[in-house]
Amino acid sequence: MRILYTLIIYLFSPFILFLLYRPRHGKPGFGSRWKEHLGWIPAPLKSAPLWIHAVSVGETIAVTPLIKALKQRHPDLPILLTTTTRTGADQAARLGSLVEHRYAPLDYPGAVARFLRTANPRALLIMETELWPNLLAQCGQKKIPVAILNARLSERSCQRYQHIRHFFQHMSRALTLLLCQHHDDAARFKRLGVDKNKLLITGSIKFDIQMDQAQIENGEQYRQQLGNRPVWIAASTHKGEDEKILRAHQILLQQIPNALLVLVPRHPERFNDVALLCQNQGFSLCRRSEQRSVAADEQILLGDSMGEMAYYFQMADLAFMGGSLVPVGGHNLLEPAALAKPTLIGPHYFNFSDITRQLIAKQACQVIHNDDELAATVQELLLAKEKQHQMGMAAFDVVAANQGALEKSLNALESILSQR
């Protein structure tokens, strides 16, 4: 089965490489480092590093508290952090000397072999359920321990894997530990044949969120400059979603003329396009990159910067999370929840269903289905300070109640770190 899988990925190589490397307006490329995706990497500065893989920005942010905690426990432990995307690499750069960064090899046998030969990792930690057959097979052959952090498996994915259950079971033999978010996740992995002795329920380390205090303070200062002006944020928005958000803001301005929208597109290559969209629809606009205060007559602050979400969330009274009015699957609501912000989300939140449902159950989050409903809900919350406060504190309580996964994960990983 793995031979067939490898033939398929070689067959689709032109398409895969085109998607990864195609030039896009405003999106920085990989430069000369593109070769790292094929396993040609510079040797790490220190031998036998702990390899941690986080695909992109979200996973890199989520694994950052674990990296910091590992370095506190083991100051001399070298850590090699890989990402697949350039934006993930930019986020990794914020960790400075805590890690060395490389791009992860694509799952071609030769690329994986070259990477492992040069990196020579003592163990591999994979953030969330990124299971690549050739990578796992070669780690198994080299007896490199592999642990999955924040492991999750939806019922739909479990049913799909049932069709290739024997292949999945064979692939999972290379796994040393699966640190599952919930009992349901562990049960589904067990149904697919994963040895129960490899399964631990630790919760999600995403709840052990560590906010950038400098950003929070700067966001609060900016908020004070805005005075009593009502502010809402639409965060991590996607193409096809901004139009709906802008229409909702137009409706809102008819009732609350001084309302300010903080609009933060998910992908930096869209910053200029979204700015043009706002201007074409008649909105007066301030861009974060201009490094100035929003004027009283400006209706939108465009968040055209990376890695400043805590800053943006802190200045807002409530948060709408993007990727959910279009079928992207939503994004993580934990950051605004940890800042005690009421949260709104569209119906397409399947990538973060558990966290979102917990917030909904505690009346900390509301699901909205279209731009009219978004406008009405934002208006209601901006005018109802008491409900706004109640929802925000309920969101904070959900985050606090789920914390502790980081410590459980660290303790579970000690057995892996001591193997080499």
Rounded to whole angstroms, the Cα distance separating 45 from 120 reads 12
**Strands annotated E in 277-417:** 285-287, 300-302, 318-321, 343-345, 365-367
Q: Is the Cβ–Cβ distance between 267 and 255 less than 8 Å?
A: no
Rounded to whole angstroms, the Cα distance separating 58 from 396 reads 20
Q: Is the Cβ–Cβ distance between 36 and 109 less than 8 Å?
A: no
Residue partners of 23: CB distance under 8 A and separation at least 6? 29
155-162 and 165-172 helices, crossing angle to 10°:
100
Which one of 59, 128, 241, 335 is the catalytic residue? 59
Q: Which residues of 226-236 are buried (b: 16+ CB within 10 A; e: fewer)?
A: beeebbbbbbb
What is the Cβ-side half-sphere exposure of residue 21, based on CA atoms within 13 angstroms?
A: 16
407 among known catalytic residues = no
Residue partners of 291: CB distance under 8 A and separation at least 6? none
Q: Is the Cβ–Cβ distance between 42 and 119 less than 8 Å?
A: no
Residue partners of 5: CB distance under 8 A and separation at least 6? 133, 134
Q: Rounded to an integer, what is the distance from CA 178 to the centroid of its chain?
A: 19
Return the active site residues: 59
